[in-house]
Amino acid sequence: MPQKIENQIKNILKYPQPDINFSPQIPPLKKIKDKTKIDIRYCVIAPYAYVHIYWNPKEYELAYEVEEPELTEEEKQFKEQLIDALKSMINFDVVIEKDLNSLLEYIHQRSKILAFELEMNLSYESYNKIYYYLCRDFVGMNETEPILRDFFVEDIECNGIDTPVYIVHRYYRNIKTNIEFENLSKAESFTEKLAQRCGKHISYSQPILDGSLQDGSRVNATYTKDITSRGPTFTIRKFTQTPWTPPQLISFKTLSLEMMAYLWMLIEYKMNILIAGGTGSGKTTLLNVLAFFIPSESRVVSIEDTRELNLPRENWLPQVSREATGRGEFGEIDMFDLLKASFRQRPDYIVVGEVRGKEAFVLFQGMASGHPSLSTIHAESVETVIKRLESPPIELSPTLLNVLDCVCIMTSAMIKKHDTRKLKEIIEIINVDKSGTALTNTPFIWNPIDDEFYSKKTSKIFEKISLRSGKSREEIEEEFRKRVQFLYFLVQQKKYGFHEVQDIINEYHKNPEGVLKRFGIK
């Protein structure tokens, strides 16, 4: 071996640990109405991985490209050798529990020793690039890790092999990426890794996975060609670490100032709210935002089958259902069990991620016994909501639906060639008779023709609040007006920060007049 190469190999042991940041600063992206003018690039794993979003004139659509370090053929061989060697050394179950910095150092120490022992002629520049891929694959989720690290990505969707992975971007919605699984074994391996990270099992005998990653991201995957003809598929709905705030949702024109102030009044006066809509219409987003208005001292118990809620509060007991485990399939704890138990935990508010089974009966019984509740349901209208609640597997008595105070209908809509989410209407439930016919009042509605929100003065819920609180209707209306002004101030001042908004709203609960005076609101 030439002396120069021998010295190079010896120097590997002296290589310092490369800097890698899996959470770089979030770039200040702007919404660009004309998609043909979009050409942006931002970092998702510093300083190695970037995302490039641009208009592709050939396909006449937006493209989402993940840009990672390019490897030479020799570097690719070295990378595969190190990956194979590391796999035999690393106890994955133990490693994944380590904190990130310890794990990155662990990979660095092991990989440079292996590179030395395997006599790899690696420059520090080459080692840097290979180290990134080792970290990406052992710490993260392989090719999809840069997308998972993109703050602006909501969903990641793979429809099988030999087809591009798609993403749902917060600003630019559905976009095709340059990521693709070329063969069946690679796709199967990735799906197995997803299951492992979710703490679950997927196989030919159990080919459907439904679980959550450690960060709370929701995963649904399939494993065999028997049930999905293109091979393994997956959808990852990313968990939002920092939920949207009420001023942000108003600024997005998802709902109006008046709608938000109205819902704030309903929550504070302990009304029961059901948020309905189709898949991806923003039901859980709105549910999270409304939780900002629950008084800070109130005890909240949430129940979900897969963790999606992230409530901005300390006095919160989050509960998640569990599937049966072991050979005897014992130990299942479903939402029905959790909900029954929650009433013994003295909740001031109950939040159920989604009702779709027998837990709905317990939830409505809880509403009837004075436990204010918020939940979501898959339905496109009040009529559909009532039919779903009356039909199997829920089968509620129509008269029990009278404990429900209002239904919010969320919808996905295309406005000026842009996908948006809107609170289509807020409907007050006045009475549901034995036949399931509902008498309702609609104080707020969104008009898709002019993309404007409209309201009317009559609100039956305000009459109910007046009777419960002993306040006059005029006092209730004045309180509503002040909250509209207060929210307008927050939007105008662009007070969008998670903790900032929560602190201001909590202060308003305790000292409304003082807060209004401080902000110059009469």
**Could you tell me the CA-to-CA distances from 367 to 64, 273, 318, 339, 349 in Å, in that order?**
46, 10, 19, 12, 10
Q: Which residues contact 202 (CB under 8 A, 6 or more apart)?
A: 191, 192, 194, 195, 208, 209, 221, 223
Convert the pLDDT of each residue in 57-75 to its tens digit. 999 999 999 999 999 999 9
Q: What whole-number distance in Å separates Cα of residue 208 and Cα of residue 188?
A: 12
Q: For the residues 133-162, what does the mean pLDDT come to?
A: 94
Least confident of 338-342, 419-423, 463-467, 509-513: 338-342
Residue 440, strand partner residues: 429
Residue 348 has pLDDT above 70, yes or no: yes
Q: What whole-number distance in Å separates Cα of residue 292 and Cα of residue 248?
A: 12
Residue 323 has pLDDT above 80, yes or no: no
Residue 121 has pLDDT above 90, yes or no: no
**What band does 44 get if pLDDT is binned at 50, 70 and 90?**
very high
Return the pLDDT at 88. Answer: 78
Residue 90 has pLDDT above 90, yes or no: no
Integer-rounded Cα Rg, in Å, for the chain is: 26
Q: What whole-number distance in Å separates Cα of residue 434 and Cα of residue 73?
A: 73
Q: What whole-number distance in Å separates Cα of residue 458 and Cα of residue 476?
A: 12
Helix (H) or strand (E) holding 306: none
Residue 4 has pLDDT above 60, yes or no: no
Q: What whole-number distance in Å separates Cα of residue 313 and Cα of residue 347?
A: 14
- Enter the pTM of the model: 0.80
Better-scored residue on pLDDT, 301 or 415? 301
Residue 97 has pLDDT above 60, yes or no: no
**What band does 325 get if pLDDT is binned at 50, 70 and 90?**
low
Q: What whole-number distance in Å separates Cα of residue 504 and Cα of residue 483?
A: 12
Assigned token pair, 52: 């490039």
Q: For the residues 451-456, what does the mean pLDDT come to?
A: 92
Average predicted confidence (pLDDT) for the chain: 89
Class of domain 246-323+343-518: alpha beta
**What band does 244 get if pLDDT is binned at 50, 70 and 90?**
confident
Residue 86 has pLDDT above 90, yes or no: no
Do the Cβ atoms of 132 and 146 come closer than 8 Å?
no
Do the Cβ atoms of 258 and 481 come closer than 8 Å?
no
Q: Which residues contact 316 (CB under 8 A, 6 or more apart)?
A: 299, 300, 301, 302
How many CB atoms sit inside 10 A of residue 359's CB? 23
Return the pLDDT at 300. Answer: 93
Residue 245, strand partner residues: none
Do the Cβ atoms of 449 and 466 come closer than 8 Å?
no
Q: For the residues 28-44, what does the mean pLDDT come to?
A: 90
Convert the pLDDT of each residue in 256-284 to its tens digit. 999 999 999 999 999 999 999 998 899 99
Q: For the residues 235-245, what does the mean pLDDT come to?
A: 84
Residue 327 has pLDDT above 70, yes or no: no
Return the pLDDT at 116. Answer: 86
Residue 397 has pLDDT above 90, yes or no: no
- CA 81 to mean position of chain CA atoms: 37
Return the pLDDT at 96. Answer: 54
**What band does 482 get if pLDDT is binned at 50, 70 and 90?**
very high
Burial level of 81, CB count in 10 A (0-12/13-18/19+)? Answer: middle
Q: What whole-number distance in Å separates Cα of residue 214 and Cα of residue 322?
A: 15
Give the residue from 424, 423, 456 showing the smallest Cα distance to 441: 456
Do the Cβ atoms of 135 and 105 come closer than 8 Å?
no
Virtual torsion, Cα 73, 74, 75, 78, nearest 10 deg = 120
**What band does 330 get if pLDDT is binned at 50, 70 and 90?**
low
Q: Which residues contact 234 (CB under 8 A, 6 or more apart)?
A: 156, 157, 158, 190, 191, 194, 209, 219, 220, 221, 222
Which residue has tokens 């559909």?
Answer: 384
Percent of the chain with pLDDT over 90: 56
Q: Please report, as a single letter, which amino acid is at residue 338.
A: L
Q: What whole-number distance in Å separates Cα of residue 484 and Cα of residue 105?
A: 52
Q: For the residues 73-84, what does the mean pLDDT come to?
A: 93
Assigned token pair, 1: 């071996």
Virtual torsion, Cα 473, 477, 483, 486, nearest 10 deg = -140
Q: Among 43-57, 325-339, 493-507, name the most confident range.
A: 43-57
Residue 311 has pLDDT above 90, yes or no: no
Burial level of 353, CB count in 10 A (0-12/13-18/19+)? Answer: buried
Return the pLDDT at 351. Answer: 92
Residue 209, strand partner residues: 221
Return the pLDDT at 8. Answer: 61
Q: For the residues 26-53, what does the mean pLDDT come to?
A: 92
Do the Cβ atoms of 300 and 291 come closer than 8 Å?
yes
Task: Count, in order, helices (H) and strands (E) of the chain.
Answer: 17, 18
Pairing of strands 233-237, 153-158: antiparallel
Give the residue from 138, 118, 110 showing the smallest Cα distance to 15: 110
Where in the sequence of the chain do the CATH 3.40.50.300 domains occur?
246-323+343-518
Return the pLDDT at 329. Answer: 58
**What band does 103 get if pLDDT is binned at 50, 70 and 90?**
confident
Return the pLDDT at 91. Answer: 59
Least confident of 158-162, 216-220, 233-237: 216-220
